[in-house]
């Protein structure tokens, strides 16, 4: 009996009539439907067997007569098993019992669907707005089917964030929405007593782009990989691979081994340039710009390599459902090995300088401390979790692409601070180089005329679930998919690694100095979003102008008509 079958039988015995349906057809995934009254009990049962919470997914299921749905996903890392539990609630009483008192990491997932679906979660400790701005009209829930994807409610002026009360005796220092130490829009209200941080409240999602809504209303399955690449300016292949894997899982489509190795190479190239980017930014945040310049000098070689392989430094456009669009032949493989050798040599010299620098140690050791127990409580992922002694890595725990055929170590530190995240990322640079070299050696054994992509045989049936994980440079990314009609998903949910990690930042900041705020926040390598406006510069006058959405659309149409 497989681990999945054993777990399902045990749940049936415990839940009895509360378990309504199951789907075991997908490899490494278990999907079950339960009565909503059994949601907390089911979550607790999974946790008692060693599950790790990932994310909640809400969607509008009214057209099938099932009301509003809530899905919670869990990972059994020791068994390479992903589990999704789904429950429904009627439209006229859209409420669930909250998992947050049991699982603090579920707090944002539930708050998100208070905003986007109009759900209510009984006993949620902090049911205030998360996604929508404080001036958003009441009664409009963007993920409900009757709400158009391009809805633009009237704007309100001078609406301030509704912040929590500051702790007694402390003052509020705002960081953001635009601040020199933040590379993207976000708002941190930091509560300080003198120089000591006593608390923090985060408000984000100011440039939420509605990609998931767009996918369910305007895009086809095959168009979404190219949009998924634009979720993050660093992790393009991460999201396109993850989405493609979710569709391939739902469609039960097996891709070629050559395509899996090429996907793996691109994912590790992204890990290299991401970790080198972070190392440079971290040096900048503590005032050590020599590290910044040297790390980015090394990174530039990786960017040139990415461009030579795909035609682009970023947003590669290489991943499609069923495989990849570009090959890595022997000539390109030789080029990759040469550049990786140079990067490794440069990295060894940079690492030696970092490890011996006392100033870096003073600015990172015991800074941003968060215990291993707290890391588990907040469901942290990636280098932030591994710096707290948690040996979780989707590449090892839930092998995908070609990771089942390469050897590497999961890099772990136990200092539980910013220094630990630095150590983990530096070591992962060498692991990434090793993984790429192994993939190239194995690619050489596969005939070059092997197919790069396979096609779907007919449409994907509606109502099938897909679940996929990929280890991004920042940590585990989760993509949940529910197939729909009209050649597009009914629901596509993306959980980036910053989503769980950011929830723990207030605990990381607590009792640290205000001067350490930038590097503590920077230690999770946060990715908030990309900017939603464009500045046009007149080359003759050097004057600039910020375009409105309508002006940008008009300019786009004008330029398209000329092409």
pLDDT tens per residue, range 303-333: 999 999 999 988 899 999 999 999 999 999 9
In the predicted structure, residue 53 carries a pLDDT above the cut 50: yes
Place of tokens 């280890």: 471
Do the domains at 3-148 and 211-523 have one common CATH topology? no
Sketch the domain layout of the chain as residue ranges. Answer: 3-148, 211-523, 533-563
Fold exhibited by the domain 3-148: Beta Polymerase; domain 2 (3.30.460)
In the predicted structure, residue 531 carries a pLDDT above the cut 70: no
- Please compute the mean of the pLDDT values over residues 504-528 and round it to a whole number: 90
Predicted confidence (pLDDT) per residue in 66-114, tens digit: 999 999 999 999 999 999 999 999 999 999 999 999 999 999 999 999 9
Q: Map residue 333 onto helix, strand or coil.
A: helix
In the predicted structure, residue 546 carries a pLDDT above the cut 50: no
Please answer whether residues 89 and 70 qualify as being in contact, where contact means their C-beta atoms are separated by less than 8 angstroms: yes
Taking each continuous run of H as one helix and of E as one strand, the counts in the chain are: 18, 17
Q: Which CATH superfamily is domain 211-523 in?
A: Cytochrome-c3 Hydrogenase, chain B (1.10.645.10)
In the predicted structure, residue 491 carries a pLDDT above the cut 60: yes
This prediction's pTM: 0.91
In the predicted structure, residue 547 carries a pLDDT above the cut 50: no
Burial class of residue 483 in the structure, from the number of CB atoms within 10 Å of its CB (0-12 exposed, 13-18 middle, 19+ buried): buried
CA atoms lying within 13 Å on the CB side of residue 255: 25
In the predicted structure, residue 44 carries a pLDDT above the cut 80: yes
Q: How far apart, in whole angstroms, are the C-alpha atoms of residue 475 and residue 95? A: 31
CA angle 507, 510, 512 (to 5 degrees): 135
In the predicted structure, residue 552 carries a pLDDT above the cut 50: no
288 vs 179: which has the higher pLDDT: 288
């Amino acid at each position: 009996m497989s681990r999945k079958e054993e777990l399902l039988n045990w749940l049936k015995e415990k839940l009895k009539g509360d378990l309504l349906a199951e789907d075991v057809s997908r490899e490494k995934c278990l999907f079950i439907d339960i009565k909503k009254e059994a949601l907390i009990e089911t979550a607790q049962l999974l946790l008692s067997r060693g599950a790790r919470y990932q994310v909640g997914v809400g969607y509008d299921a009214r057209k099938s007569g099932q009301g509003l749905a809530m899905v919670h996903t869990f990972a059994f890392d020791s068994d390479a098993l992903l589990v999704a539990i789904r429950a429904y609630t009627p439209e006229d009483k859209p409420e669930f019992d909250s998992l947050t008192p049991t699982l603090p990491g579920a707090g944002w997932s539930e708050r998100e669907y208070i905003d986007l679906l109009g759900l209510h979660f009984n006993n949620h400790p902090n049911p205030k707005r998360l996604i929508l701005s404080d001036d958003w009209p009441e009664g409009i829930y963007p993920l409900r089917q009757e709400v158009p994807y391009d809805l633009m409610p009237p704007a309100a002026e001078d609406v301030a964030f509704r912040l929590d009360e500051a702790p007694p005796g402390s003052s509020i220092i705002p960081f953001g929405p635009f601040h020199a130490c933040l590379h993207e829009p976000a708002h941190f209200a930091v509560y300080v007593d003198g120089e000591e941080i006593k608390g923090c409240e985060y408000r984000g999602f100011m440039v939420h782009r509605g990609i998931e809504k767009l996918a369910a209303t305007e895009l086809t399955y095959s168009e979404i990989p190219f949009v998924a690449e634009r979720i993050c300016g660093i992790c393009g292949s991460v999201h396109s691979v993850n989405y493609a894997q979710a569709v391939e899982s739902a469609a039960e489509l097996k891709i070629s081994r050559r395509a899996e190795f090429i996907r793996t190479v691109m994912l590790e190239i992204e890990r290299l340039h991401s970790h080198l980017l972070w190392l440079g930014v971290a040096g900048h945040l503590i005032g050590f710009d020599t590290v910044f310049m040297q790390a980015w000098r090394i990174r530039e070689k990786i960017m040139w390599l990415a461009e030579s392989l795909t035609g682009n430094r970023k947003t590669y456009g290489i991943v499609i459902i069923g495989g990849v669009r570009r090959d890595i032949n022997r000539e390109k493989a030789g080029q990759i090995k040469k550049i990786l050798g140079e990067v490794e040599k440069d990295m060894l010299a940079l690492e030696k300088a970092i490890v011996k620098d006392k100033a870096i140690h003073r600015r990172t050791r015991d800074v941003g401390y968060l215990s291993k127990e707290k890391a588990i409580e907040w469901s942290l992922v990636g280098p932030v979790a591994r710096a707290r002694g948690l040996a979780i890595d989707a590449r090892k725990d839930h092998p995908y692409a070609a990771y089942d055929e390469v050897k590497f170590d999961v890099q772990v530190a136990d200092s539980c601070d910013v220094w630990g995240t630095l150590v983990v990322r530096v070591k992962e640079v060498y692991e990434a180089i090793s993984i790429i070299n192994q993939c190239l050696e194995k690619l050489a054994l596969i005939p070059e005329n092997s197919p790069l992509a396979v096609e779907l045989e007919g449409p994907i049936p509606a109502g099938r679930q897909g679940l996929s994980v990929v280890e991004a440079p920042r940590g585990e990314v989760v993509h949940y998919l529910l197939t729909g009609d009209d050649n597009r998903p009914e629901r596509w949910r993306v959980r980036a690694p910053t989503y769980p990690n950011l929830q723990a930042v207030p605990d990381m900041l607590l009792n640290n100095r205000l001067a350490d705020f930038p590097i503590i926040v920077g230690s999770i390598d946060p990715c908030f979003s990309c900017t939603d406006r464009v500045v046009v510069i007149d080359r003759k006058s050097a004057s600039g102008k910020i375009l409105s959405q309508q002006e940008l659309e008009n300019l786009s149409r004008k330029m398209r008509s000329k092409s």
